[in-house]
Amino acid sequence: EVQLVQSGAEVKKSGESLKISCKTSGYSFTTYWIAWVRQMPGKGLEWMGIIYPGDSDIKYSPSFQGQVTISADTSIRTAYLQWSSLKASDTAIYYCARQGPVGAIGYWGQGTLVTVSS
Amino acid sequence: DIQMTQSPSPLSASVGDRVTITCRASQSVSRWLAWYQQKPGKAPNLLIYKASSLESGVPSRFSGSGSGTEFTLTISSLQPDDFATYYCQHYNSSSLTFGGGTKVELK
């Protein structure tokens, strides 16, 4: 069974750094793209970037390029999303998700709520 | 960048209604289009991929059509469990762009 289990909710202050995780199981970690998706309170879904763990190829949405860093550790089948300096506007739920063979996202993590206070 | 625009939003409907949601792309995306359903507090759920292919386990009352720049998601007979927000998404080798969402609410 494919599973993506995300790290727990975080409460941070503006300017702090943060790294959230997405631990996967049930499939070949290195052969599927993993995406990160943001959902701000009461708003829609926004694609942030995707990573191919097999060769660490990463593509960022222009809206998030330079704002976040996506990475993966194949030894522990885990993908990461990190910020070096959080802003209050980063308050959102962040989902990791796995693309399927034809590109659509068939599996999602449960989401990580990040709350940033100013 | 390709932009995806959904309409209408919101959409007011009753149980049993035939419901159609439209998604338009700013340029041709061929048939690389998916539809998702999201309920409050939950992660999205894939309904349709490659414009018209029904994901395994999704009820057959859901269907998708279209190609190029215009796509539709149709629910043939709206059920109580279908009141949710629906998103289209274009995907290719370098991006995954979502539409703004269509909330289907009770009339």
The SS3 assignment for B49 reads strand
| Model pLDDT, residue A101 | 76
A contact set with B (CB within 8 A): 35, 37, 44-47, 50, 59, 61-62, 95, 97, 99-100, 102-106, 108-111
| Assigned token pair, A75 | 């030894």
**Dihedral (CA of A49, A59, B102, B51) sign:** negative
Q: Which residues, other chains included, contact A69 with Cβ-Cβ below 8 Å and sequence gap of 6+?
A: A80, A81, A82, A83, A84
Instruction: Give the C-alpha separation, A85 to A100, whole Å.
Output: 32
Q: What digits encode the pLDDT tens for the residues B39-77?
A: 999 999 999 999 999 999 999 999 999 999 999 999 999
| Residue B94, token pair as written in the block | 């370098």
Would you call A104 and B49 a contact, using CB atoms and an 8 Å cutoff?
yes
**From the list B38, B43, B46, which residue is nearest A104 (CB)?**
B46
- Predicted confidence at residue B95, as pLDDT, reads 85
**List of chain A residues whose C-beta atoms are within 8 Å of the C-beta of residue B85:** 44
Tens-digit pLDDT profile for residues A56-102: 999 999 999 999 999 999 999 999 999 999 999 999 999 999 998 77
Distance from C-alpha of A28 to C-alpha of B4, rounded to nearest angstrom: 31
pLDDT at B1: 83
Residue B65 has what pLDDT? 98
Q: What pLDDT is recorded for position B64?
A: 98
Q: How far is B96 from chain A (nearest CA, A)?
A: 6
Residue pairs between chains A and B whose CB atoms are closer than 8 Å: 64
Cβ of B89 within 8 Å of Cβ of A99? The answer is no
Band of pLDDT at residue B89, cut at 50, 70 and 90 = very high
> Can you tell me the distance from the alpha carbon of B91 to that of A81, in angstroms, rounded to the nearest whole number?
20
Coil, strand or helix at A30 = helix
Contacting residues for A5 by C-beta, under 8 A, at least 6 apart: A22, A23, A24, A25, A109, A110
Shortest CA distance from B47: residue in chain A? A106
* Mean pLDDT score of chain B: 96
pLDDT in tens, B4-22: 999 998 999 999 999 999 9
